Amino acid sequence: MAATNKKKSILVVDDVPNTVEVLQRNLTSQGYTVYTAFAVAEAIDITKTTPIDLVITDLKMPRVSGLDLVRHVRENLKDTEVIMITGYPSVQGAVEAVKTGVEEYLAKPFTDEELFSAVDRALEKLRTRQINHTAMLQTPHTPYGFLGESEPMLKVFKAISKAASTSATVLISGESGTGKELLARAIHYSSRRSSASFVPINCGGIPEGLLESELFGYVKGAFTGAIESRAGFFQTADGGTIFLDEISETSLNMQVKLLRVLQDRDVYMVGSNRPRKVDVRILASTNKNLPGLVKNGLFREDLYFRLNVISIELPPLRQRGDDIVLLVHHFARKFSEEQNKTTPRFSDNALKVLTDYHWPGNVRELENVIHRLVVMTECDCIKVPDLPSLMRFSALREPDLTRTLAQVEAEYIRNVLASLDGNKTKAARILGIDRKTLREKLSKIDTSLGSPEPDSI
Ligand SMILES: Nc1ncnc2c1ncn2[C@@H]1O[C@H](COP(=O)(O)OP(=O)(O)OP(=O)(O)O)[C@@H](O)[C@H]1O
Ligand SMILES: [Mg+2]
């Protein structure tokens, strides 16, 4: 256990005195300062007067549940982490807890080791959060971790601060990997709702049959198996923000239900016809062209208009000019620090290849490429041959129409080979020629091009 964790303060909350005692003894023996409470109200009182780094709370307690304590901590105590203990590992309990913001979870019975490592992880998370927060305040060009100095990104940052000052619905569009989720978080965390929950929902990832009850919750007896009422994401996000990611993936049927929420802010739990008011800000994202889907009858026009109150479009990375270089260095620094390596430099030619590449997967693709480079490369300067081959070959492409058929053929053959990691048998099959012909063509290409210079494009 890290020495810096020793003086951290932990509040243990459980209605069973025996459990409290055991936890207190174990944690004190590890050097933590331990406070105890037997009910949620008592725990909240302690947090008012004593700075607490970590709360370890039981889920099931008479009167007020541990989840309410979690909610209180999340909303009011930014510098406190939570671990939830549950007597019986129920999936539903876990889902509820995670939605409320619990990241660590201990199912009874647990060993001392399990307890200590959960405490370690939670305190480590707290430390990272505090470091990130300080770093964010120190770096002027990374509002909410968003990097960019290009003209189109400065416009996006302006749009974020405008959107954050209202509670209007925002439609975020952009190709995949452009930072739509990051943008949604930026709006939430710079809005007045920042202390309440941000609840992202991957609309394409939840099966159609489950989406409605996940979103709106259900009442007891709504269907077989609904033995008690359960809140949905909309209730969890009350006071906060819901992010409907990839909204175009919802069915037309679901779109009608979302429209109702957007119009009246009324939520109907599955199995109930009593509307309940919720105070939720809605952000939605799409990487598809919604007006196009509306035209083809795949997306409801009225819902589109309701979502599109404020519209923010994230430009593709290839249109962000020097931001590419900025991001390359940012991710190189980030991943090197993670790996305890010195941050590599990039040769001018390597940077040119990276800037000229068309980045179909945008920032996410760039992040992955740099991650791999940092992991795989041992030298302190990354040069063109270190870059993924597809990227090098696409940089070879000339925009003019002056190349001979032989040159075009050579480039195509190399691209196919590169995409197959040099597997000649597979390449020959794709090219529709036999291996022998491929070998002959390759030796001709090699003689005409010569071997590449160590750092030439
Ligand atoms: N401008 C930026 N500065 C720093 N990191 C960024 C930036 N934009 C995106 N990222 C990072 O790139 C990755 C992809 O971003 P995000 O998930 O927000 O994109 P997305 O548009 O939602 O992608 P997808 O369409 O694949 O869901 C994340 O790791 C995010 O932190
Ligand atoms: Mg996304």
pLDDT in tens, 197-243: 899 999 888 888 788 888 999 998 888 888 888 889 998 899 999 99
184 — pLDDT class (breaks 50, 70, 90): very high
**Which ligand sits closest to the CA of 183?**
1
Q: Tell me how far the alpha carbon of residue 137 lies from the centroid of ligand 1, in angstroms.
A: 20
pLDDT at 282: 96
pLDDT higher than threshold 60 for residue 132 = no
What was the pLDDT predicted at 135?
47
Mean pLDDT within 354-358:
90
Q: Are strands 170-173 and 310-313 parallel, antiparallel or unpaired?
A: parallel
Query: pLDDT tens across 320-348, in order?
Result: 988 999 999 999 999 999 989 999 999 88
**Which positions ≥6 away from 410 have C-beta within 8 Å?**
441, 445, 448, 449
Q: Give distance in angstroms: CA of 146 to centre of ligand 1.
A: 9
Q: What is the whole-number distance in angstroms between the Cα of residue 51 and the centre of ligand 1?
A: 34
- Phi/psi of residue 338, each to 5°? -60, -35
CA-nearest of 378, 391, 383, 397 to 351 is 383
> Closest ligand 1 atom, CA of 287?
25
Q: Is pLDDT at 297 greater than 90 in this prediction? A: yes
Please work out whether the CB of residue 287 comes within 6 Å of at least one atom of ligand 1: yes
Q: How far apart are CA 116 and CA 388, in angstroms?
A: 42
Among candidates 314, 265, 297, which has minimal Cα distance to 154? 314
Lowest mean pLDDT among 10-19, 43-52, 124-133, 226-235: 124-133
Atom of ligand 1 nearest to the CA of 153: 1
Please give the pLDDT value at position 97.
66
Q: Which ligand is nearest to the CA of 362?
A: 1
Q: Which phi-psi region, left, alpha or beta, contains residue 179 (left: φ > 0; alpha: ψ -120 to 50)?
A: left
| Structural element, H or E, at residue 290 | helix 290-295
Pocket-testing residue among 331, 364, 369, ligand 1, by greatest number of atoms within 8 A of Cβ? 364
| pLDDT for residue 98 | 63
- Measured in Å, residue 339 CA sits from the centre of ligand 1 at 21
Residue whose CA lies nearest to ligand 1 atom number 23: 177
Which residues, by Cβ under 5 Å, contact ligand 2, an ion? 181
Categorize the per-residue pLDDT at 248 as very low, low, confident or very high, splitting at 50, 70 and 90.
very high
Alpha helices in 101-251 (DSSP H): 112-138, 151-164, 180-189, 208-216, 233-236
What pLDDT does residue 375 have?
A: 92
Band (pLDDT 50/70/90 cuts) for residue 170 is very high
Determine the atom of ligand 1 nearest the C-alpha atom of 182. 18
Question: Residue 99 pLDDT more than 70?
Answer: no
Is the Cα dihedral 4, 6, 10, 14 positive or negative? positive
The alpha carbon of 442 and the centre of ligand 2 are apart by a number of angstroms equal to 41
Closest by CA position to 188, among listed 92, 258, 285? 285
Q: Give the range among 76-80, 98-102, 278-282, 437-441 with minimum mean pLDDT.
A: 98-102
178 lines ligand 1 (CB under 6 A): yes
**In contact, 257 and 208? CB cutoff 8 Å:** no
- Is 335 touching ligand 1 by the criterion CB < 6 Å? no
